[in-house]
Structure 1
Amino acid sequence: MDLIRTIQDRLSNMSKRGLFLTMLGVAAAVAGLVSLVMWIAFLDTSSKKPVSIAVLAPASGRAADQGESIRRGVELLVQQVNKAGGIGGHPLAVLRIDDGDDPVQAKAAAEKAAASDVIGVIGHASGAAARAAAEVYAARGIPALTPATAQQEALPADPWLFRTTFDETFETRFLANYVRNVVGEKTVSIIHSGSPRDEALSTVFDEVLQRFGTKVLFRWAYDPAAAGLDQDIERIAADINDKKLIGAVFVLGDAEAAGRIVAGLRKGGVRNKVVGLRALATDAFRASLANHWKGEGSVGAALNGTLVSAPMLLDTAGERAQRFRNGYIEKFGASPDWLAGYAFDGARLLSETYRGLSSAERQPGSVRKALRDALAAMNRVDKAFPGINGPQYFDARGVSAAPAWIGQYDGIEMISALTQLSPIREEGVANYLQELIAGRALYVNDRFMYKTNVVFAGVKVDKVSAMDTKANTVDLDLTIWFRWRGDINPQDVVFTNAVTPIKLEHPEREGQDGDMLYRSYRVHGKFFRNYSQVSRAYGTQLVGLSFHHRILNRNNLMYVSDVLGMDLGSGGTLQEQLKKSRMSISEGDGGNSVKALLAGLSGGMVNADPLVDMMMRAHVLAGLSGWEIERAWVSQEASLQGSSGDPTFVGFGKPLPSFSLIDMGMILKPDGFKARDAFPADSFIYFAIFSLVGSVLASLLDRKDRGQFWRMQTLVLRAVTWPLLLVSVGNLILDYALANFSTSAIDAIYFVYETLWWIVPARIVTISLERFLWVPIESRTNRKIPNVIRMLSSFVVYALAACGVVAFVMGQTLTSLLATSGVLAMIIGLAVQANIANIFSGVVLNIERPFKVGDFVKIGGIAGQIKDITWRTVRIRSNGYMVSLANGKVSEAEVHNYSSAKGAYTGLIIHADPSHDPVQVVELLKHSLVGVKEFIAGEDPEGGGTTEGAEIHFAGVECIGGHWVARYNIRFSIKHMGRMRFATDEVWTRIWHAFNEAGIVWKPLSEDSPDPADTPMPVRA
């Protein structure tokens, strides 16, 4: 009690400012406590047990560069998952274990992972390490995803290891078919290591070539660990040159050895086409080539023309892969290879599968088995996981059914080869023989495959203009070009989001380089916005175009984005870029070779979205003010189209035609500050808590009128907390709606959110008018501001806010609205013209102010006290009941205001017997009326000085009704007319008692005598 009393005493002695600051401190403490509880209970992912996955990849040795790509791919996925709030509020964590790319060490690493609390494993750079670890995964029951491959014959029936890429035997046969039947090589030589794996693969390659009559001229074996490897490579190069061997050279080996061999061959003057498996499509291969390159010219020249098989090519991938590439570049400053992409996809597959498990399946004893079962259930394309390289699903051996691609180095850039092979569905009823004779299909790996023509397509946006939000369209000026080989018409395209059909008829430029054809077209057209389901934040706009060939489906023609033609490649020579990157790395982390190489390949520090940089430099948004580019892409997608009754696609076993579609898109966001760009999503929860507590404090302080100082403080408090509350709660609701609601529901929520940005300020303005205009005027004038003025001012403020909603939220012009409103107002005005007249009369009355609320008046024949002045009527309390008078009639009537002076004068007439001495009667009346409580003293209105109480005059003797009487006039001032009846009652009572005691005879008035109440009532000025 003493503490409470002490606190109360201190608070009572505080100044207003100090008290308010104390209240703010208490409110902040309450908000902080609530935020802390919220953080501990829901937002603190660090205090929650993380969901962990293990990454088993070489961190040392020959395959360290490949292990780095794997780790980076997983780390990028972990960063993105945790930035999005983790998995059910739990952070995603990584356990990094070095498997040394060695079977023995890989088994030990797998044991370590199995003994931890990880839910699964990603990793292994080689098939040997993966096979050794698979024994542990099966014995300990832990699911694993690996981008490493293995020979088909060596693949065990392992239910716990899932390979996210195709096997090496398939890949080798695929490449051999391509070299013989697409490239047309008649002779091939093979360079391979002496390992059993390379021996077996070289035999598979030889057998496929022999089937088509192609000879393998020579086979050389090497030892990758031998000290004299460089001399062996020089000898092989000399053999090729001395024997004048023609045809391709198939290089087998890991990335380190393959880079070393290609460098040695090119240095030795070998100009034959080099072909290889996926190891040659890694950053580790390019790093090895660059490190061992000692020949003349650039590394790009040594690499140029090399043909490789690869699980993924970025220029053939879709928008999801482009986002992965941009995120990888932003985080690591280098472009990713396929190893990083498949490691990213594997970690994403594992985490998303875990997210889909039930709470019972997530228990420590059952989570690994549940994950394995969920992965095994992805055994058909309709159950596939949407990976960055297409649908990801597994066959009965746990091997991915992902397609194989053929890439070709153009300098240091890996691009798609001009012909790809795509499998024909086994249940199809196509005439395979006819397709083979026509050259449109090949028999590869015991199945028929289409020979798909690849067309490099480029899109350059010149200008974006005329964005029409109502019609959902935008005008685009574009340059579109095609580079291809063969007798096809790649420009015969359909623009899927064009408002009106656009035909590419007259090329702006065309040319030919050897058998490579080129055509370029200028396009100006109107295109629909938001034409696809690409992920984007609400309030942003998707602008761009997509097109596919009009008649050739993806089996016959595939468009790929022309990375080189759009200047999106690395640029420069590899040596020049390595030099730059090594200089920058030497100043930083001591010269990590892989990081230096990747930074070099990408031109040092690379912008995460080079396409955006190019567009910004070209000022493509010059015709569209108020917007900026958030991200952009040019991708190749597979688009299913209707058959339109074509018998080729109608019937059992005939799938719907899938067309290769080029998608060029830009996400445009408003050019201005956005809270979601400046603050993390979780921070909005804390902002909402603090602003809500501040708003409650303002409401509590306003429950009782404490004066102008507190009105000012609570208004400022609302002006700060209400917008902050709107920003925080609005962003939280919109983020939730984007993930869970339909488009129409999101649009409705966003409309309400944008509308509140006009209503809330309007409310603050009306409160400001009340507190800083009307209340101060009332306090200075002691007159109540009529409600009609308050309502009119509020109406104007909210009407302006409504106009803002119509113009800026709905996007409608106000001209038509105002015109329509004018006509409507005219019709309504004619219908309610009497009420309108009353409203304007009320305005005039409030301007002239002949009376105010509380005054005693007489308007026409109605006398009483003013109780209220509304927009239409004046309400008067008269004789115990309320009388409502229309403002129009009041403005035209004669108004008597008895409250505008210091007092109201009234009077009485007394008749007595004239036989009495007038002086005596006057004195008697004066004495009898002393102390009447209703009287007030004041100035004599006729200039006769001041009076005290009543004024009594002898008016003479007059004849009334045949009788002579003496007349006495009594005048007195009362406080207000509302007390007149009480005053006259008291005066008559006092006079009656005085006359009776003095024996003065009354002379009653005749019927013709005037009523004293009707006598004029002079008032003081």
Structure 2
Amino acid sequence: MPRKTLFVAVFAAMFVLVVALLLWRFSASLAGLSSRQVSLEAEPIRIAVANAFSGPNAPSGIAMLRGAQLLADKINAEGGIHGHPLVLQPFDDRRNAEQAEKVAEQIGTSKDIVAVIGHGSSTASRAAGNLYRLYKVPAVTPTSTNPNVTLFNPWYFRVIFNDDLQANILAHYIRSVLNDSSIAVVHLEDLYATTLNRTFTLTADAIGLRIRHQIALPSQPSPEDIETAATLLAADGKTQAILLILRPPQAKPLVQALRKRGVKAQLLGTDSLALAGFAAEQDEAPMADLDPPPHFTDGMYIAAPFIPDTATAAARQFLDDYAAIYREDPIWSAIYAYDSALAIAEALRRLPSVDLDDVPGLRNAVREQLAVMNTPARAVSSLMGPLYFDAEGDAIRPIYIARAKDGHITPATRQLRLVKDPELISTLRAQGENIIDLGNSLLQIVQVVYTGIHLNKLHAIDEKARTFQADFDLWFRFSGELDTENIVFPNAVTLLRLAKPLVARELLGEQYRAFRVQGTFRYTTTHRNLIDGNEDFMIQFRHAHLDHSRLVFVTDSRNMGLSEGRSGWGRILRAEQVLAADSGWVIRDATVYQEIHNRSTLGDPLFPMIALPYSYFYANIQGHHGEVSLQRQLARFLPDRFSWPWFLFFGALFLITWTPWLQHRYPVPMALVRLVASACLLYLLENLFNALYAERLELYQLELMLLFFKSLWWLLPALFVVALLPPLVWRPIERRTRYPVPNVARTFVNLVVFGVAGVCILAFVFERPLTTILAASGLLTLILGIALQNLILDAFSGLVLNLEQPFALSQWIGIATRWHGRQFGRVEELNWRTTRLWTRDNNLVVIPNSIISNAAITNYSRPTYPSRMEIPVVLEFSVPVERAQQVLEESARQAVMTGAVLGEQPIRAVVDTLESYGVRYKIQVYHHPEIVSPEVVKTAVNRAVMTRLQTEGLKVAVPLEPLVIRRRTD
């Protein structure tokens, strides 16, 4: 069976190819396809996570553990570190110094714990740090800000800023940005608040910031304590700002009390008030005419370790992953825990190998790797940007000054940053702006520009040139001045600059500019996008001259309607139908974010370095081909990676369907199962190729490979149809007509099916216009028609014969042609070019269909058997008609004895016509053409007639010769 041979050959080739590829892959690397399984079976690398997992501080500890676990899951999914999975082991310190020491003792004496992520509080970290130094265990804290945690302890590192830096930034911000000269400080009597207050007081004295009040509250202040502090602050009308070094439970009643008393002083808070939910709380006793009630934190400045609007692309992805997995928004400690785990994982990854039999040696090697992460060149790219440590083990991280508004914290329009790079000092002074020189400190004012985008239309997507056209509105909110004409779009096809703004206004010291932008932009694809059928249509811009130290773009989430998260932008764009429904694309997701990238200084002598970081604003719309294909449907049920169990399962299922008993008893179900198994095998095979070669190939090579597989996915439905035609179409027709379907009909239909598949491949895979395909096919048809006109005439004649069906296979016919005489035989085959007859002479006669279509055809098998034959005989006029009929009929009955004539059928002799020389009679007899040929019948009847006529003395009439008159010549 040809189809069976084809399918078996295809499967065998696929199986051999898969085995060969896997053997090659395994010989090239032990990781290969099974790297994930190898890593999961290897001995794990254990990392301790120490924080409060019980009691009132448990939510923060759980969030920290979850953040670190997201990194561990990602690393393990990629094969682990040096083939070993990363396993996190939590330890509950309850944020208690005594309990933290017990936890540190357990970790230090452990035989398999390599490093520590923790602790969550400075008190616990300082208590445990001495033991980590004793047992030589490297530790990285995500949230402990007390400077003494890392001071004189080479085994402790910190990924967050310390309290000294925070206090300095706050003092300078109040004095130099807010231009306030007097302040009151309210703080708790604990280690965190005491340390911050001490540094803040020293800095305030140094910069001329007068502290009018120092109010200390117990760790659990009573309502009377709150009221006393609020009354004291409200009575002093000269205090311009109030700094709260409190935690949310103590800060909330005090802020509410100050609001009720109408205190006009600017309120500020430290990083302890940046926890999620504090800024979103509403006043418990709102005014009756306000609905909804206002947020009591509105207008507060808060020092924040993280603000969602400043998130990088990596941080944005983390926020989405965390919310999707744990069904809640993360607090900032989870982000810093992820970075802590990342620092340890990177230290392990940079080692030549991991020897878990020598844990002390491994601990020391990890500490050394962390210590050498001390410059931007040796930094690890983390959620909060480049991560590296100074000599004390503290990360060089920014402190954001946030502003609370409508329950959200957003970046203040001006930020303060310490100038860490001494090479930049002379350059910044030469430029003469944004620099605050306060003796032993250099601070730089950074302008924050709130940026929003409203996409009106995205169209004209050119997949060949990889360009698209966009029509959008762009707006900026900022303080001070911003030369918007120097904002450039790096991926614009032609130079695109912002023209005169549509709207320009100033309100309460804040500038607003809105622009309408239309242009063509380039987009770049990736290996993953090519495989998944996605593309990222990105609009990006930056300032041409102001680097990240002077300008930062942040997303105006609130005015874009993204207060609940930037991931909702895709839903907004879909609702507004930014992409037309007939474009062939659908919006899968859309995000807006800012990113920091280095850009060359182009050898400018003003800059001692070769590159500077710039703030880039991105609006990314992820489009997906809106096609419905069998491949996409299988992706919903099958794994997106090659799987040996699935491959073997479908391979066995494919072979089982060829079992003769099953094929005979269940032909249609077996055909369907076989085709489904073939599709699944092709899907898994494509995943195998993607896993092995996607990252190894150049993009154009990957495109060619994907085009090949796309063509196969279009050919597969054609194979489905061709394979289902016999059980669903041809066999029912044969059962109904009791004749086999000619090969020409089968071949013609199969060619039509594959022709349609070929046209679809050209149109949808190679993206050739249908008009071009039709024009090319028309020209090709004309050329072939001239060269192959006889073959084409035979083919169409065969098609006409199949449609009219003057005869069918196994029927007996006679064909009388003008030039080739008469042929009689049984129809053996009717193909696309010829008809084959089996004659009584045991010969096979092949006749072109074009000759048959012009011939006289006698079908001896229709309408029913037997077939009547008329044999002419001419007798003289002297023979009476009754006598002639009697003799002829009796003669024909004698032929019955020979078996040539059927005796059960009537035999008659009738008068046909009168000739000039006699009377023409027709002897009507019946015979079975499958048993006796017409020549045999004629022979038997004529022999019997001649014998009887001779006996009766009757003569056959002979035509008269024409009279010839001769002229005499003499």
TM bin, normalised by shorter chain, reads: 0.7 to 0.9
2:408 matched residue in structure 1 = 413
Kept in 2, the 8 Å contact 1:940–1:946? The answer is no
1:70 matched residue in structure 2 = 64
Quick one: distance in 2 between partners of 1:378 and 1:198?
Answer: 30
Quick one: distance in 2 between partners of 1:101 and 1:706?
Answer: 71
Residues 1:417 and 1:268: Cα distance change in structure 2 (over 3 Å): same
Superposition deviation, residue 84 in structure 1: 8.1
Residues 1:897 and 1:354: Cα distance change in structure 2 (over 3 Å): farther
1:611 matched residue in structure 2 = 569
1:388 matched residue in structure 2 = 383
Matches within 5 A, 1:324-363: 324-350=318-344, 360-361=354-355
Q: Aligned to 2:171, which of 176, 183, 189?
A: 176
Per-residue CA distance 1:369-393 (angstroms, 9 max, x = gap): 5554554453332333222221222
2:609 matched residue in structure 1 = 654
Quick one: distance in 2 between partners of 1:252 and 1:849?
Answer: 102
- What SS does structure 1 have at the residue aligned with 2:558? coil
Matched, 1:564 2:558: yes
Matches within 5 A, 1:85-96: 94-96=88-90
Quick one: distance in 1 between partners of 2:278 and 2:596?
Answer: 30
Residues 1:616 and 1:516: Cα distance change in structure 2 (over 3 Å): same
Per-residue CA distance 1:15-60 (angstroms, 9 max, x = gap): xxxxxxxxxxxxxxxxxxxxxxxx9998799998776543322245
Matched, 1:695 2:654: yes
Kept in 1, the 8 Å contact 2:193–2:245? The answer is yes
Residues 1:678 and 1:789: Cα distance change in structure 2 (over 3 Å): closer
Residues 1:275 and 1:206: Cα distance change in structure 2 (over 3 Å): same
2:448 matched residue in structure 1 = 454
Matches within 5 A, 1:15-164: 53-60=47-54, 63-74=57-68, 77=71, 94-114=88-108, 115=110, 117-152=112-147, 155-164=150-159
2:751 matched residue in structure 1 = 795
Residues 1:844 and 1:566: Cα distance change in structure 2 (over 3 Å): closer
Kept in 2, the 8 Å contact 1:66–1:284? The answer is no
Per-residue CA distance 1:714-753 (angstroms, 9 max, x = gap): 2122244334444555456557766776544543444334
- What SS does structure 2 have at the residue aligned with 1:271? coil
Residues 1:152 and 1:839: Cα distance change in structure 2 (over 3 Å): same
2:673 matched residue in structure 1 = 717
What letter is aligned with 1:713? P
Superposition deviation, residue 87 in structure 1: 7.8
The one of the two structures with greater contact order (alpha-carbon pairs below 8 A, sep at least 6) is 1
Quick one: distance in 2 between partners of 1:457 and 1:898?
Answer: 89
Kept in 1, the 8 Å contact 2:566–2:591? The answer is no
1:248 matched residue in structure 2 = 241
Q: Aligned to 1:759, which of 715, 723, 741?
A: 715
- What SS does structure 2 have at the residue aligned with 1:609? helix
Q: Which segments of 5 or more consecutive residues in structure 2 lack a partner in the other structure? A: 1-32, 868-888, 902-926, 936-970
CA RMSD of aligned residues (A): 4.9
Kept in 1, the 8 Å contact 2:307–2:400? The answer is yes
Matched, 1:186 2:181: yes
Kept in 2, the 8 Å contact 1:128–1:150? The answer is no
Matches within 5 A, 1:543-942: 543-569=537-563, 609-621=567-579, 628-643=586-601, 646-648=604-606, 653-669=608-624, 674-676=633-635, 681=640, 688-701=647-660, 707=664, 709-727=665-683, 729-730=685-686, 734=690, 743-774=699-730, 787-843=743-799, 860=820, 871-872=832-833
2:7 matched residue in structure 1 = none
Kept in 1, the 8 Å contact 2:305–2:400? The answer is yes
Q: Aligned to 1:946, which of 876, 896, 910?
A: 896
1:7 matched residue in structure 2 = none
Quick one: distance in 2 between partners of 1:353 and 1:433?
Answer: 35
Superposition deviation, residue 455 in structure 1: 0.9
Superposition deviation, residue 831 in structure 1: 3.2
Residues 1:945 and 1:777: Cα distance change in structure 2 (over 3 Å): farther
Superposition deviation, residue 558 in structure 1: 1.6
Residues 1:443 and 1:740: Cα distance change in structure 2 (over 3 Å): farther
Per-residue CA distance 1:778-832 (angstroms, 9 max, x = gap): 6777866554443322211111111222333334331211111111222233333
What letter is aligned with 2:770? L
Kept in 2, the 8 Å contact 1:278–1:309? The answer is yes
Q: Which segments of 5 or more consecutive residues in structure 1 lack a partner in the other structure? A: 1-38, 571-606, 905-938, 952-971, 981-1021
- What SS does structure 2 have at the residue aligned with 1:303? coil
Residues 1:758 and 1:472: Cα distance change in structure 2 (over 3 Å): same
Quick one: distance in 2 between partners of 1:338 and 1:382?
Answer: 26
Kept in 2, the 8 Å contact 1:684–1:728? The answer is yes
Residues 1:271 and 1:542: Cα distance change in structure 2 (over 3 Å): same
Q: Which moved more, 1:420-429 or 1:895-904?
A: 895-904
Per-residue CA distance 1:168-192 (angstroms, 9 max, x = gap): 2223223323332222222333333
Residues 1:890 and 1:520: Cα distance change in structure 2 (over 3 Å): same
- What SS does structure 2 have at the residue aligned with 1:165? coil
Q: Which moved more, 1:518-527 or 1:771-780?
A: 771-780
- What SS does structure 2 have at the residue aligned with 1:302? coil
1:404 matched residue in structure 2 = 399
Q: Aligned to 2:267, which of 249, 269, 274?
A: 274
Percentage identity across aligned positions?
A: 28
2:374 matched residue in structure 1 = 379
Q: Which moved more, 1:608-617 or 1:882-891?
A: 882-891
Quick one: distance in 2 between partners of 1:755 and 1:363?
Answer: 53
Superposition deviation, residue 517 in structure 1: 1.1
Q: Aligned to 2:162, which of 146, 163, 167?
A: 167
Residues 1:433 and 1:814: Cα distance change in structure 2 (over 3 Å): closer
2:227 matched residue in structure 1 = 234
Residues 1:531 and 1:842: Cα distance change in structure 2 (over 3 Å): closer
Quick one: distance in 2 between partners of 1:116 and 1:830?
Answer: 87
Superposition deviation, residue 140 in structure 1: 4.0
Residues 1:890 and 1:567: Cα distance change in structure 2 (over 3 Å): closer
Quick one: distance in 2 between partners of 1:315 and 1:776?
Answer: 67
Quick one: distance in 1 between partners of 2:663 and 2:166?
Answer: 84
Quick one: distance in 2 between partners of 1:303 and 1:408?
Answer: 9
Quick one: distance in 2 between partners of 1:160 and 1:153?
Answer: 13
What letter is aligned with 2:125? A
What letter is aligned with 2:653? G
Superposition deviation, residue 549 in structure 1: 2.1
Kept in 1, the 8 Å contact 2:122–2:149? The answer is no
Quick one: distance in 2 between partners of 1:98 and 1:300?
Answer: 38
What letter is aligned with 1:459? I
What letter is aligned with 2:515? Y
1:431 matched residue in structure 2 = 426
Quick one: distance in 2 between partners of 1:380 and 1:863?
Answer: 98
What letter is aligned with 1:397? E
Give the number of aligned pairs. Answer: 843
Kept in 1, the 8 Å contact 2:36–2:76? The answer is no
Matched, 1:210 2:169: no
Quick one: distance in 1 between partners of 2:680 and 2:414?
Answer: 57
Q: Which moved more, 1:144-153 or 1:691-700?
A: 144-153
Superposition deviation, residue 527 in structure 1: 3.7
